[in-house]
Amino acid sequence: MKFETINNLRIPKIGFGTWRIGGEGSADPSLDDKSLQALRSALELGYTHFDTAEYYAQGHAEELLAKAIPASGIPRESLFITSKVWPDHLRYDGVLKACEGSLRRLKMDYLDLYLIHWPNKLIKLEDTFKALNQLVREGKVKNVGVSNFNLKDLKKSKELCETSLLTNQVPYSLPENKYVKNGVVDYCKENDILVTAYTPVKFRNLKVNEIIKSIAHVYGATSFQIALAWLTNQPRVITIPMSFDAQHQKENLAAADIELTLEETITLNSLYNR
């Protein structure tokens, strides 16, 4: 596994996203067994970065993660846990309350990373960061970041954050280049801010694209692994794929070890009219 070292942190290039664990926009208890099995297999395979949010299954994803971790025997300090505050809760008191809720559901004393899930134009960032900075000072949050932020809001967040803003989590993949075009990806790389790529392999023609398939054949890999390797080969980029399937989890984790050549990278960069 490759890591990204930043701000004295060593963060895996491949983490585990928990969207759809325990449900989607609401809790679905019928998915509990399947979800717990997915989390347990991820922990057994060696995933140490888990990304969740208060919105995921209305907090149930956090609750299931709290069940899976103790059974793994992995010490809390060996894990990197990210959660997010929903945009409705970005006022000062709302952030503090949301964080307490996440910590309670996760049964943890602190979060390694706490993100603003989406910006809310009706609430001043100054108010939100007043709370986030307080959470850091209190030790309840180790690092602060944002998600789905454009360049203007990202720059403002960097100014307001009393510690180094750790990441902007955005949709980023071979075909998804909105945050390249709007300048966010380059700004992050130039300012020591991680790009956390979500939905990294969710595109329609991934498995049938002949160029990706030909590169995958060279490495004895899948097309999904090449799409992930394209991300993990980039400096200051990490990603958080999710799968319920243990074999896919294993393949995702192994993708970070694939070292693409410069020629292969240029070829992949030319796909999808990037």
| Active-site residue list | 56
The β-bridge partners of 141 are 111
Q: Helices 32-45 and 60-72: crossing angle, nearest 10°?
A: 50
**CB proximity list for 253: less than 8 A, separation 6 or greater:** 1, 14, 45, 46, 47
- Cβ neighbours around 3 below 10 Å, total: 15
The β-bridge partners of 82 are 51, 113
The Cα–Cα gap between 233 and 260 comes to 7
* Sheet architecture: strand order including 144-147: 16-17, 49-51, 80-85, 113-116, 144-147, 167-171, 194-198, 237-239
121 is written with which tokens? 């134009």
Nearest to 117 by CA among 45, 168, 78, 152: 168
How would DSSP label each residue in 194-248? Answer: EEEEESTT--TTTTT-HHHHHHHHHHT--HHHHHHHHHHTSTTEEE----S-HHH
The Cα–Cα gap between 99 and 12 comes to 24
- Composition of the chain by helix, strand, coil, percent to 5: 50, 15, 35
